[in-house]
Each structure stands twice: as structure tokens, then as C-alpha cells.
Amino acid sequence: MKTLVLAEKPSVGRDIARVLHCQQKADGYIEGKEYVVTWGLGHLVELQDPEGYDKKYKEWKTEDLPIMPEKLMTVVIPKTGKQYRTVQGLLNRKDIGKVVIATDAGREGELVARWILQKAGCRKKCRRLWISSVTDRAIREGFAKLKDAKEYDHLFEAAVSRAEADWLVGINATRALTCKYNAQLSCGRVQTPTLAMIAKREEEIRNFKPETYYTIQAETVCSAANGNPDPTRGSASVRGSAAKPVQDRQVPGNIGGSQRHSASIRFQWRDSASGGGRTFSKERADAVCRALESGTLVITKADRKRKKTPAPLLYDLTELQREGNRRFGYSAKDTLNIMQRLYENHKVLTYPRTDSRYLTSDLVPTLRERVDSCGIGPYKAIAAKVKNRKLSENLPFVNNAKVSDHHAIIPTEQVPELSHMTIDERRIYDLVVRRFLAVLYPPFEYEETVLNAELLAAGEKKSGRVEGEKRSAAAEKESCRNIGDGSDTGVRDKKISGSQNQESAARDKKLSDSRKLEFAARGKVVLAAGWKEVYGELGEDDLEEEGETESAEVLQEQILPAVQPGQRMKVSAVRCKEGRTKPPARFRESTLLSAMENPVKYLESGDRNQAKTLSETGGLGTVATRADIIDKLFGSFLMEKKGEEIYLTAKGRQLLQLVPEDLRKPELTADWEMKLGKIASGSIRRDRFMQEIRGYTQELLHEIHTQEGTYRHENMTNKKCPNCGKRLLAVNGKNAKLLVCQDRNCGYRETLSRTSNARCPVCHKKMELAGNGDTATFICACGYKERLEKFKERRQKEGAGVTKRDVAAYMKKQQKDAAEPVNNAMAAALAGIRLE
């Protein structure tokens, strides 16, 4: 008897067939002596549409709701029906004794296989292949450790419960809204809260009122003893090499050398009450500036600390999607598709749909081989430095408790063919390999020096031991004496002046509120580049996901001379900078993915238990579905892109006003995912969960039917639909501008323009292709225009007519020619000549 292996996709099926020595190819499967390998095309079976239960549901009517079949049925997807019949025939073959489920190792992969087996009526014994990569070695090891499929029955129950719950709520709520308002309004338990987060961010931006603030910087001259500058102290930026370690180790209280040398330090004013580096009072800023121009700074503290920063954790899918969007502008869907090719076709990366950033201990013995496999080409030098490192289970990125179905994304043991990858594949592969090598490197080490100083006004006396001393009232008065008229805004740079103004001095004294004027400066010296060496010139600086950090709140790094507490420095220049507070940044795909993964701050209830649940269940959606949710929101015209920023459309804003409040909250998804997790672990019964879902669906419909509201198309055009005669709506798709019919039953749509991959010859940006046929024209934002016909002619002259197949054939011929003797033709011609 033979064993049938059911893979999820043809590419994986072919890899398994090769490892199992199946060579006889047929239509939809590959057969060998012991195994027959077949595959799905993703899902071959799906839940039945409402009209499959009753023809009346084909027409959307409010009176037909709710649609709640006693048992939800499955149906074969028509476009993949041929492959399903092939799989069904193999399952029913008499020489097939058992089945191995080899679909993706996860909740959705389990659903793909089980629905096929159920639909085909298969009752044969089933085993489960559970692997995280599709290399030959992983497949062989997986088949050596096959598990009983019954161990994954609860996982299947969780998967089918999720599918049926989404069907019941989505179908009924969408039809109810659409019928009531005569507009195609789609809602769901993940997409609607995602839309609500974007709306909340837009409200924050709309209500934001910018304020003017001031920062103050004092340039000082350090000319006392122990004031020699240390040239190794300075920038924290690391570009592949470490600065020389500090040599001048001194006793406490004497930081630095002993030579007399003049150097400057830029101190930033810090509010003694809040610790911040800015003030919103212009009078106070002017008072501080005037006090500085007549005073001297005294060092109160000079702290030097050695610090270590470990490498960032390994990638999960969401983090990789964020990085792909931030660095290269890829959408979440683009990054996932690229990852799938690297996983399935090139076999150089592990399973992409993972939500973990850790590895399990059983993978530690394979790390050295993975380093060897990816340590080629641009990674050869950096990989060589970790080959001799001792690898144990105590590594910070190894934690069995933080891995559920799949570990973090890392390279496989397969040696990559970098020349066979596209530029997009190379970029994503590069991110994963460098992050993998980075975690194997030692921490980034640096020494940070922070100087604290107080203003010593003209005529005030202070000893070297400044900390703890109280300032006299007279000294405080002197510290706020006025110099100049204080009328400057923006950047002001004044040399010390002797002119005073008594009236301003009195006002400055009041503004000072008898508080000390404190200042700080910071410098850093790199002791060891550590993991940052992996990134070299690429850099691996942290990106602020939720908006820009005000520069006033961060001490700027600089080269610091060696100083000691009690040392005085004369102020040589004062700069007062004016700035404006900024609203929160609009969402991009990268930041939207972050918000979906961690939507706790968008909870309306503020309930800690709900926040904890949401964190534990992984946020809105899963790593496998978030990209599809974002694409769906673009495709249904609920949101649109302007540049890289995401905006709600008028349709999206109105939908949020009409949809039931419960569907807008992230708490709903948190509750569902928590219960689905319990179903997967066997803690609760599936039928109990589904009973709750049916009751919840009834509540949603009642709320929609009884609520008051109207829907108005705000994007109506004067152009009429050629099919029904109704006016068309202008909408912005993710990559195109379209006209669509307002009648949801008509479904007519017309593309006005789409973003192409063609680059402008002037500015090299992507151009839009507007029009069709002979009128099709490329249009660039810079103003360049070119007819499609002329564009093709130009590209033909530039060599665009060469296809990938042509390149492959040329390379094959070159390799063949290289293997033959150089003068092969001449040698053949002279072969018959006899020289006697």
C-alpha cells in the first residue's frame, strides 16, 4: 500500500516528492514506489455562500436576515475544481493506505487539509508533517518524526470556528448595512477596528493645536586644568568599526588628564522641575538667556558609565513587514509574497507566517550550519567572525516558552543562489540574514559621559564641591540679571555684553521662581561595535514609529573634553531656538501594522484585563491575515494612500458612524482570539463558542435595524454608468484611480489611471498610466508626459525587449561555451588534415 502526501502548494509538493524519490509525474500529482504526492492550490474548499442554502439569498433583502444555517456547509472552489477532483480521486484509490497532511504547519494550514479530507469523505488513517522550512533536510527529519493527525484535532476546531464566526458576523452585518443604506458597506471584527484606529489618529491630528516652544544652548570655554579634550569621545554613530577605547582611566573625581587645554562644550538648559529641555514661555527663555550671558557654568556632576546594548530580536512576520515598508516602501502583502518565494522556491528562509521572535533550544545545534550556508558573498566576512563563537541554549534569543507554532524567521541550511534572486528578494533576504548574524554577535559597547552644571552668576562664589550647597538670595538675583532687550526669536547667538537693564532684571528674577538654572551635556565613545558591525554603512538606527521625537528632549551627543566637578566654564555664546510642536504622524503601512499588533492604546474601555488579553492574543488579526486586511480596506475604498500616508475616505468615515459600536472596538477580536486559543488547547468546547457567536450576530442585526443614520455619496461624478445609467463614483484604489457604479448590484468599474512600474526618464519616479488603447499616456508628478506608443519605442531602443528567458538562454550558452575548448571550430576543421 502507498501513502498519499497532501501539500498546500505545488512548489512544496514537488520538493517533498523529490526527497521521497517520487519521479513519475502526472496531472496534479507525482508518484513513486512508496509515496504519491499531491497538493492544493491554497484552499480548494471554502464555506458555502448564502445562495447555496437557498436561492432567495442571491438577492440581498433585509427581511431575509439573519442568515443562519443550522450547520455551515463547504463547497469546492470552482476555479480550483480540477485539482480538487484529482486529490479526491487519489484519496479514494484502493492502493492508498494512509494519508500524510503536509500543509503549512499552522491553524490555517490545518483548515486547508481537513476541509479537503472532509469534502472527499476520506476515512483513512492520517499522519501530520510539522516542519518550519522546506529544505531537503527538514523534510527528511519531519517524515522521520510524523505525528498522529488526531493530536491536531483541536487546532482544526479552532480554525473552523474562526472561519464560521467570521462568516456569520461578516455576512449578516454587511448585508444589513448594505440593504439599509443602499451602499456597498463592508464590515468585520478585524477590518472595522483597524479603520477606527486610523479615524482616531486623524481626529488627533485635526484637534492638535501647535504651540511655540524655546530651547536654550550655552557654548562654554573650558580652559582650566584637567580640561584637555579626549578625541575618542564623540559620535555614537557606528558604521562598521569601533572607536579606540578610552585610555585615560583616572581616580574618582578627576575625569580626564592633567594638561591645561582650551576646549568648548555645548550645554543645553534643562527645566529643574520637569527635566525637559524646552519652555513654552518666551519671557522665561529670554530671562535664562540674559542670565547666561553674564554668568559662568560650574560642573556639579560628571558621570561616566559603561553600557551595553544587545542586538534587536530576530524577525517575526510583522516586524519584517514593518522593516520592508520603512526601508523599501513595500506593502505588507508585497513583503509576505517575497517571503513566500524565499521560503517555497529558493528554500533559503524558514516559515514566514510566524508571530515569534525567538528560537527553540532544539535549533541551537543547527545554528552553525545555518551560519555556514548564508556566509557567502557580502556576508562572508561578518559570518566568519561568529563561526568560532560558543553557541549554547543560554543565548538571549532562545526561549521555548515564547515560541508557539513557529519560531522566528531565520536562514535555512540551504546555500543561497544570490544571482537567481530578484532585487526585491535580495533585499528581504539581506534583512533576515543580517539580523540572524547580528544576534550571534556580542553587544554594542560604549561609554557615556553626562555632565551636569549650574549657572554661577557674575560675582557669585562657589567651591569645587557644588552639590548640596544652597544659593543665596543675592546670588539667585544675580543669576537672572538681564542683558539685552530679549526681542530675538528663532536662533540667537550673542557674545557676552556688559550692558544691563534694571527693569528686565526685576522681571527675570520673578520668572526664575528662585529655581536653579541647570544645564546638561552628553558624549559617547564607542568601545566595541559588536553587533552593529554586521550592518556596517547600512546602519541599524531605531525608527520612531509613532511620530517624531522633539529634539529638545534629547541631549545632543558631542566630543567632550575631560572635566571634573567644581570646574568653572565661562559662557562664550548663547543660542535660543524657537520650535513648534508637531501633531502625531499619519499612519503608514509599517506603523499601521504596529498598531494592529499592539492596539492597547486604542481601547476605549481602559480595562486592564482587556488590555492584557489583547496583548496575549497578538492584537488585531494574525501575522498571516494582517496584510490581507489592509489590502481589503484599500480594495473596498474605505481608505486610500497619498504618497506613503494612509487617509480615510468619505466612505470609510461614514461607515464608522453607521456600524455597530461593538464592531469598532479591538476588544471584540481580543475576546475571540482568546477563546479560539482555548479551543485549540482543548480548554473549551467549539459548540459553546459558536452558540455565543449566533447570539451575538442577532444582537448586531437588531442594533443596525433600529439605529438612525443616513449615507451620502460624497464622490459622485457627472459621468453615467454605461450599464444602468446611474452616476459613477470617483474612488482611489491602492494603486489606481477608478470610476465605479454607485449601484452595488451593477458592479461596473472603469480604471482612469494606475501606478505603473515605468520610471520617468527625468526624475526616475514611478509614472501613472492614464487612458486606454491609443490614448494611453504616462504621466509623472514632475510634469513629464509620454504616450504609451512612444514609451514602448524608447524602451525597445534601450533594450527593454530582452526577457528573462532570453537572459537565461544567453547565460546557459555562455556556460556551455566556457566548458568547451576556445578554438573548438578550428580544431574540428584541422582534425582531418594529415601532415606527412
What pLDDT digit, counting tens, does each position of 169-218 carry? 999 999 999 888 888 788 888 899 999 999 999 999 999 999 999 999 99
Helix (H, G, I), strand (E, B) or coil at 303: strand
Q: Would you name the residues annotated as active-site residues?
A: 351
Residue entry with cell 459558536: 690
Taking the C-alpha atoms of residue 375 and residue 387, their distance in angstroms, rounded to an integer, is 10
Taking the C-alpha atoms of residue 349 and residue 345, their distance in angstroms, rounded to an integer, is 10
Do 734 and 206 meet the contact criterion of CB atoms below 8 Å apart? no
Taking the C-alpha atoms of residue 21 and residue 23, their distance in angstroms, rounded to an integer, is 6
Which of 64-68, 454-458, 510-514, 809-813 is the least confident region?
Answer: 510-514
Q: Which of 517, 481, 487 is nearest to 500 (CA)?
A: 481
Q: Give 506 or 673, the one with higher predicted confidence.
A: 673
Contacts of 316 (CB under 8 A, 6+ apart): 354, 355, 356, 357, 408, 409, 623
Average pLDDT (542-559) is 58
Do 651 and 633 meet the contact criterion of CB atoms below 8 Å apart? no
User: Which triple of cell numbers denotes residue 329?
Assistant: 516602501
Taking the C-alpha atoms of residue 265 and residue 452, their distance in angstroms, rounded to an integer, is 12
Taking the C-alpha atoms of residue 721 and residue 727, their distance in angstroms, rounded to an integer, is 6
User: Which triple of cell numbers denotes residue 454?
Assistant: 549650574
User: Which triple of cell numbers denotes residue 39?
Assistant: 497538493
Taking the C-alpha atoms of residue 377 and residue 426, their distance in angstroms, rounded to an integer, is 12
Taking the C-alpha atoms of residue 602 and residue 594, their distance in angstroms, rounded to an integer, is 12
Taking the C-alpha atoms of residue 502 and residue 625, their distance in angstroms, rounded to an integer, is 69
- pLDDT value at residue 635: 85
Length of the chain: 836
Please tell me which of 339-353, 615-629, 746-760 the model is most confident about, judged by mean pLDDT: 339-353
Query: What is the per-residue pLDDT across 255-302, written as a single tens digit (0 to 9) for each?
Result: 333 334 447 899 999 988 888 888 999 999 999 998 888 788 999 999
Average pLDDT (104-133) is 91
- pLDDT value at residue 762: 84
Residue entry with cell 562664589: 461
How does DSSP assign 780-806, residue by residue?
-TTS-EEEHHHHHHHHHHTTTT--HHH
Which of 171-185, 202-216, 612-626, 665-679 is the least confident region?
Answer: 612-626
| β-bridge pairing 212-222 and 263-270 | antiparallel
Which of 90-94, 278-282, 706-710, 822-826 is the least confident region?
Answer: 822-826
Average pLDDT (4-33) is 92
Q: Given pLDDT bands bounded at 50, 70 and 90, which one contains residue 804?
A: low
- pLDDT value at residue 299: 92
Taking the C-alpha atoms of residue 758 and residue 784, their distance in angstroms, rounded to an integer, is 12
Residue 802 has pLDDT above 80, yes or no: no
Three-class SS of 370-411: HHHHHCCHHHHHHHHCCCCCCCCCCCCCECHHHCCCCCCECE
Q: Give 42 or 614, the one with higher predicted confidence.
A: 42
Which of 107-116, 218-227, 457-466, 584-593 is the least confident region?
Answer: 457-466
- pLDDT value at residue 143: 95
Q: Give 770 or 194, the one with higher predicted confidence.
A: 194
Average pLDDT, the chain: 80
Query: What is the per-residue pLDDT across 368-383, written as a single tens digit (0 to 9) for each?
Result: 999 999 999 999 999 9
Which of 187-191, 303-307, 332-336, 751-755 is the least confident region?
Answer: 751-755
- pLDDT value at residue 805: 62
What DSSP element (H or E) covers 629? Answer: helix 626-635
**DSSP structure class, residue 601:** G
- pLDDT value at residue 409: 95
Do 579 and 550 meet the contact criterion of CB atoms below 8 Å apart? yes
Q: Answer left, alpha or beta for residue 131, where phi above 0 means left and psi between -120 and 50 means alpha.
A: beta
Residue type, 297: L
- For the entire predicted model, the pTM comes to 0.70
- pLDDT value at residue 254: 35
Q: Answer left, alpha or beta for residue 240, where phi above 0 means left and psi between -120 and 50 means alpha.
A: left
- pLDDT value at residue 689: 94
- pLDDT value at residue 468: 36
Do 147 and 360 meet the contact criterion of CB atoms below 8 Å apart? no
Q: Give 549 or 47, the one with higher predicted confidence.
A: 47
Average pLDDT (639-655) is 91
Q: What is the CA radius of gyration of the chain?
A: 34
Query: What is the per-residue pLDDT across 710-731, written as a single tens digit (0 to 9) for each?
Result: 888 777 787 889 888 888 887 7
Question: Going along 482-552, which residue ranges are E strands?
Answer: 493-494, 518-528
Residue 24 has pLDDT above 90, yes or no: yes
Do 283 and 212 meet the contact criterion of CB atoms below 8 Å apart? no
Do 671 and 614 meet the contact criterion of CB atoms below 8 Å apart? no
* Distances in whole angstroms, Cα of residue 729 to Cα of each of 407, 633, 634, 712, 794: 46, 17, 15, 12, 36
User: Which triple of cell numbers denotes residue 486?
Assistant: 530679549
What DSSP element (H or E) covers 335? Answer: helix 332-344
The dihedrals phi and psi of 61, each to the nearest 5 degrees, come to -135, 140
